[in-house]
């Protein structure tokens, strides 16, 4: 049977990870946050004072492991760089500009693409900017989540506060707007609505309802949620 792949794309702070994790848990699939690859790379580049233009070379030599367990506790590691476990540090706002520049490098994207695809081989719920358009263009179920920047800013602020990084409105807003602009206008892997995607504006819809809509679409495509207690 062909591996079942769900892709969830959308701008920063729209709730992709929250929804993606729950959908993955319900479907008994791994959860892949593709943004983690870029975040680990940006952290490594900042630490080694590597220019964005040299990030692809740096990426080739890095051993990056992503935690694909959808029910991983909030304080567990999200990615490993070699043997080093990384969590909240990956979301520190200081690296934002570098992160966006690195993600815009076509060569960086081509180094990371096969690694992302490999993690989806047996079926996956993947979230990011280009998962439906570029990483898994053959995905059975494609979703695009959207919400205005004000709504996403508030969500991102509460997320950062939960991670112990309270940030002022203006900083989070500027960061989101800048990343939106860069994500949408870059040449390689830009943020787009994939063809045939289920588009959901999450402004006034709770995450549980968005999850329910995605699962309904998956069911219509032949993938049933797992029964509680099942270990498929």
Binding site for ligand DC (CB under 6 A): 12, 34-35, 38-39, 99-100, 103, 128-131, 179, 183, 189
Of 89 and 226, which has the nearer Cβ to ligand DC? 89
| Strand residues in 41-191 grouped as ranges (E) | 64-66, 79-81, 84-86, 124-128, 141-146
Min CB(113)–ligand DC separation in Å: 10
Min CB(158)–ligand DC separation in Å: 15
C-alpha distances out from residue 39 to 32, 43, 66, 96, 181, Å = 13, 6, 11, 9, 18
Burial of 113 (0-12, 13-18, 19+ CB in 10 A): middle
Of 78 and 217, which has the nearer Cβ to ligand DC? 78
Give the residue among 111, 36, 110 at the shortest CA–CA distance from 72.
36
Min CB(32)–ligand DC separation in Å: 10
Are the CB atoms for 179 and 129 separated by under 8 Å? Answer: no
For residue 206, give both structure tokens.
Answer: 């709770």
Min CB(79)–ligand DC separation in Å: 11
- Using CA atoms, how far apart are residues 76 and 63, in angstroms rounded to an integer? 19
Min CB(231)–ligand DC separation in Å: 29
Of 35 and 70, which has the nearer Cβ to ligand DC? 35
Of 36 and 211, which has the nearer Cβ to ligand DC? 36
Of 28 and 174, which has the nearer Cβ to ligand DC? 174
Min CB(51)–ligand DC separation in Å: 17
Of 26 and 130, which has the nearer Cβ to ligand DC? 130
- Using CA atoms, how far apart are residues 169 and 160, in angstroms rounded to an integer? 12
End-to-end, the C-alpha distance of the chain in Å comes to 14
């Amino acid at each position: 049977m062909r591996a079942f792949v769900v892709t969830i794309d959308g701008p920063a702070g729209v709730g992709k990870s929250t929804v993606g994790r729950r959908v993955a848990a319900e479907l008994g699939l791994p959860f892949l946050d593709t943004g983690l690859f870029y975040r680990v790379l940006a952290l490594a580049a900042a630490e080694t004072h590597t220019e964005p233009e040299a990030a692809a070379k740096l990426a080739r030599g890095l051993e990056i492991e992503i935690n694909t367990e959808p029910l991983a506790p909030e304080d567990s590691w999200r990615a490993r760089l070699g043997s080093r476990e990384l969590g909240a540090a990956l979301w520190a706002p200081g690296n934002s500009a570098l992160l966006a520049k690195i993600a815009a490098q076509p060569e960086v994207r081509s180094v990371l693409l096969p690694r992302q695809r490999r993690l989806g081989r047996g079926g996956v719920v993947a979230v990011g900017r280009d998962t439906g358009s570029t990483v898994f263009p053959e995905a059975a179920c494609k979703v695009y989540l959207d919400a205005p920047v004000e709504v996403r800013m508030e969500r991102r602020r509460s997320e950062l506060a939960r991670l112990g990084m309270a940030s002022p409105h203006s900083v989070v807003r500027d960061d989101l707007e800048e990343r939106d602009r860069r994500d949408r206008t870059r040449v390689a892997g830009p943020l787009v609505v994939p063809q045939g995607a289920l588009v959901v504006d999450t402004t006034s819809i709770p995450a549980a309802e968005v999850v329910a809509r995605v699962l309904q679409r998956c069911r219509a495509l032949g993938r049933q949620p797992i029964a509680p207690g099942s270990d498929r």
